[in-house]
Amino acid sequence: MIPRHIEKKIRQYAKEYPIIALVGPRQSGKTTLAKALFPDYEYISLENIDMRTRATKDPRGFLEDFGPYVILDEIQRVPELFSYLQQLVDTKQDPAQYILTGSSQFLLNENITQSLAGRIITFKLYPLTFTELYHLPPDANFNSVYQKFHTKRKAISQTELYTILWRGLYPRIHDKKLDSYKWYENYIFTYVERDVRSLLNVRSLRLFEQFLLLCASQSGALLNYSTISGALGISVSTVKEWLSILEASGLIFILPSYFKNFSKRVVKMPKIYFVDTGLLCHLLSIRNASQLKSHPLLGNIFETFIISECYKRFYNLAETPPLYFWHDQSKNEIDLLLDMGTKCFPIEIKLSQVFHSDFQKVMKNWLEIEKNPSDKGLVIYTGKDHLNKSKSIQTIPWYYL
């Protein structure tokens, strides 16, 4: 098992809450992590039809038979258990009595809201970060994510970068050294056939698959609901519903435009990003890392990688990612803004091994906007040199993050 950086936060809060929930996309490593952190707990998989039937017919008896200190895997399959869990932990309030895991985040969260508010803490586990894959230290705290530079790290070559982008960061691929292309093929089939069919009233799964492919082609782009609606012949409300399913399932996330109106001409349309570039590459029919090098969407894929890495690392600190972007009607854009409360930290992402002064142009103008308290920013590129170290806008290789 590759060690996960979220472990520290789970151990910390397991001392304070009677129920710990670990949610996230399929195959992100939830069950493996739960077993590793709580090795003495009895493990029950509610994917098992006998267990599921037993729990559904007599939830109270089921929980009494197994007692506390148990891992209940895929608990969203038996929602009847939640109200009984509430009663049990109200009676006995010891910490970390029940460890719950689930893939369908939105189902799990809905039941938590109704039955377990104040009794449970929920962690979101996504595929690996590159820092986990390379066994690098975790981020120290909220303010260190993408703002502390690790300048002594060993360089990662362009070839290796393309391999990371193409293979993606789902743990099982790396743990078992699997053929990633075939693995993603099975992953998509399982997701569409099992999750989508059971959770959505989709008349045509083939249409949903086309929707998924169209979303992949838009990763890193402004999200226009009407364009997707027109391309597939479905309503805008259906587009929004299907996007919410992808987001709740942990496959994508929506990056909002920055809400503080430093300019009246700001575009408020959000962006869509895939959480994992391996899944993204598969959906784009990129069959190997060599094909990726010349793909027309390579820049978007690299941007997706950098922003999703930041997204996952905030969740590994048990923090909601404070991430935005900025875009105005003149098509000036800053790829990523970290909202640190009193200030924002702007970041530009460039798929270039050579620095150009134009990389900083929009950011400099943005920093000079009246009433903008931000005073420094960052350019991330694929070169090897750390540039402009003493200036307000530094330029660093991506693997220094």
Residue 23's pLDDT band, with cuts at 50, 70 and 90, is: very high
For residue 327, pLDDT beyond 60: yes
Sign of CA dihedral 283, 287, 289, 292: negative
Q: What is the pLDDT of residue 261?
A: 64
Range list of H helices, 137-294 = 158-167, 171-175, 180-190, 197-199, 205-217, 225-232, 236-248, 277-283, 289-293
Beta strand spans in 52-150 (E): 70-73, 98-102, 120-124
If you average pLDDT over residues 330-345, what whole number do you get?
Answer: 93
Per-residue confidence (pLDDT) for residue 105, from 0 to 100: 59
Tokens of 230: 């027109």
| For residues 150-171, average pLDDT | 97
Q: What are phi and psi of 98, to 5 degrees?
A: -130, 135
Q: What is the mean pLDDT of residues 53-76?
A: 95
Domains and CATH numbers, the chain: 7-124 (3.40.50.300), 130-400 (no CATH)
Determine the average pLDDT of the residues in 112-119.
Answer: 79
Confidence class for position 329, pLDDT limits 50, 70, 90? confident
Report residue 9's pLDDT band, with 50, 70 and 90 as the boundaries. very high
Position 370 scores a pLDDT of: 83
pLDDT of residue 201 exceeding 80: no
List C-alpha distances in Å: 356 to 350, 353, 373. Answer: 10, 10, 26
Stretch (H or E) spanning 22 = strand 19-23
pLDDT per residue over 264-303, tens digit each? Answer: 567 789 999 999 999 999 999 999 999 999 999 999 999 9
Rounded Cα distance, 346 and 338, in Å? 6
134 and 163 Cβ atoms separated by less than 8 Å: no
| φ, ψ dihedrals at 67, nearest 5° | 70, -175
| For helices 49-57 and 59-66, angle between their N-to-C axes, nearest 10 degrees | 120
Q: Name the range with the highest mean pLDDT among 99-103, 174-178, 255-259.
A: 174-178
Per-residue pLDDT at 265: 64
What was the pLDDT predicted at 149?
96
Dump pLDDT digits (tens) for 42-62: 999 999 999 999 999 999 999
Dist. CA 214–CA 237, nearest whole Å: 17
| φ, ψ for residue 124, nearest 5 deg | -105, 125
C-alpha to C-alpha distance for 188 and 176, rounded to whole angstroms: 19
Confidence at residue 113, expressed as pLDDT on a 0 to 100 scale: 67
Q: Which pLDDT belongs to residue 110? A: 65
* pLDDT score of 109: 61
d(CA 86, CA 120): 10
Q: What is this structure's pTM?
A: 0.95
Q: What is the largest CA-CA distance in the chain?
A: 68
317 within 8 A of 139, measured Cβ to Cβ: yes
**How many CB atoms are closer than 10 A to CB 381?**
22
Does the pLDDT value for residue 198 go beyond 90? no
